[in-house]
Amino acid sequence: MPVYYLAKRVGIFFLIVWLAATLNFFLPRIAGDNPVAQKVMQMAALGGNLHAGMQDMVKEYQSKFGIDKPLWKQYLTYLVDMTRFDFGYSIANYPRKVSDMILEGLPWTVCLIMGTTLISFVIGNVLGAFQAWPRAPRWLTTIMPPLLAMSAIPFFLLGLILVYVVGFSLQLAPLYGGYTAGAIPQWSWSFGLDVAYHAVLPATAIILGSLGGWALGMRAMMVTTQGEDYVTFAEAKGLSDRTLFVDYGMRNAILPQATALALSLGQLVSGAVLVEIVFGYPGIGTLLFQGIRGSDFFLVQGIVFLVIVAIGLATLILDLTYPLLDPRIVHRNA
């Protein structure tokens, strides 16, 4: 891989990080002189939850971003804070730092999204490949319309339906939370099972909602692949169905799907955030919801910044590994 391409791709990643931080800094300031400090006061006055330390927080904020400092100095301070993932204190839960709160929720969200993406990507692509396979069982074609219908609906809507049908009516799975209330998070079998049990419904909502999209894309790619000369030739050679299907068909059809995965990451995360809210899942999404409800500006900003950086990083990694999947791709100076 040429250094030029690598440098350009990494450069774009840092550009995204810088833009996200800049947006976070300037947007609230366009709206007013110092709306963040105002918001802190307002919160303290309205909510009546004026903690003893709240004054310290305002003071610290003023010393960093006070109006006596020139804007460029404030901006630089802010950028430095962002690169250290220092998002300040949570307004609603004062003595806690935003970065600590995010760190607590992050594993939940990362596991949920990575797990569901992996499962739905594999199952969806296999299903889609079979759709285009003339010798596939009949019943496979009948599940396509419902899958497509579900892929058109937002994840959290499927989540609400699942909560009602599976959780509320059939009482087969828990309705809420990431683990049984009162359980102490620890590394043990029983707690692990409890967590898995609670993850079933939110994960199912995301998987059901994404299967159709993968299957549709894979079906189209398989149809194209099967028209290729090398497949006809392989068929004429008398290669087994399995070899034809897996090595000649899927191996080549999967490549654009990997690109599609990189492109759909943002939407996937946005969808998962809303699913977390429906289930009160203890991840980033629920945290974001709490932040918005409590006008906890720093918390919301921190989460937004982190999600943008995470998705930028994931896209970067996928882009850089793509040539490994498809050796024909050579990045030239373009």
Partner 1 sequence: MGLTWMNYLARNRELGVGLALLLGMIAFAVIGGLLVDPQNARPLSARVLQPPSWALPFGSDRQGRNLFAVITTGTLLTLRIGLIAGILGVGIGAAIAFVAAYYGGWVDSILRSIVDIGLTVPNLMILIVVALTLRQGMTVNVMALVIASLAWLYPARTIRSQVLTLRERAFVQIARLSGTSGPGIIVKELMPNLLPYLMASLVGSVSAAILASIGLDVLGLGVFEAPTLGMTLYWVNFTGAVINGWWWWWLAPIVVVGILFIALFLISIGLDEIANPRLRRQV
Interface positions with partner 1 (CB under 8 A)? 12, 15-16, 19-20, 23-24, 27-28, 30-31, 35, 131-132, 148-149, 151-154, 156-157, 160-161, 163-164, 167-168, 175-176, 219-220, 223, 263, 265-267, 269-270, 273-274, 277-278, 288-289, 292-293, 295, 297, 300-301, 304, 307-308, 311-312, 315
Is 128:215 a contact under the CB 8 Å cutoff? yes
CB of 209 to partner 1, least distance (A): 11
Is 108:282 a contact under the CB 8 Å cutoff? yes
Q: Which is nearer to partner 1, 24 or 125 (CB)?
A: 24
What does the DSSP 8-state code read for residue 183?
Answer: P
CB of 288 to partner 1, least distance (A): 7
SS3 89: strand
CB of 223 to partner 1, least distance (A): 6
Q: Which is nearer to partner 1, 15 or 329 (CB)?
A: 15
Cα of 53 vs its chain's centroid, Å? 34
The answer for 177, left when phi > 0, alpha when psi is -120 to 50, beta otherwise, is left
Q: Which is nearer to partner 1, 58 or 220 (CB)?
A: 220
SS3 97: strand
Matching residue, tokens 């899927």: 250
Round to whole Å and give the CA distance between 40 and 60: 12
CB of 151 to partner 1, least distance (A): 8
Q: Two tokens at 231?
A: 């497949």
Q: Which is nearer to partner 1, 20 or 211 (CB)?
A: 20
Q: Which is nearer to partner 1, 191 or 322 (CB)?
A: 322
CB of 285 to partner 1, least distance (A): 9
Is 240:149 a contact under the CB 8 Å cutoff? no
Q: Which is nearer to partner 1, 35 or 238 (CB)?
A: 35
How far apart, in Å, do the first and last CA atoms of the chain sit?
13
CB of 238 to partner 1, least distance (A): 26
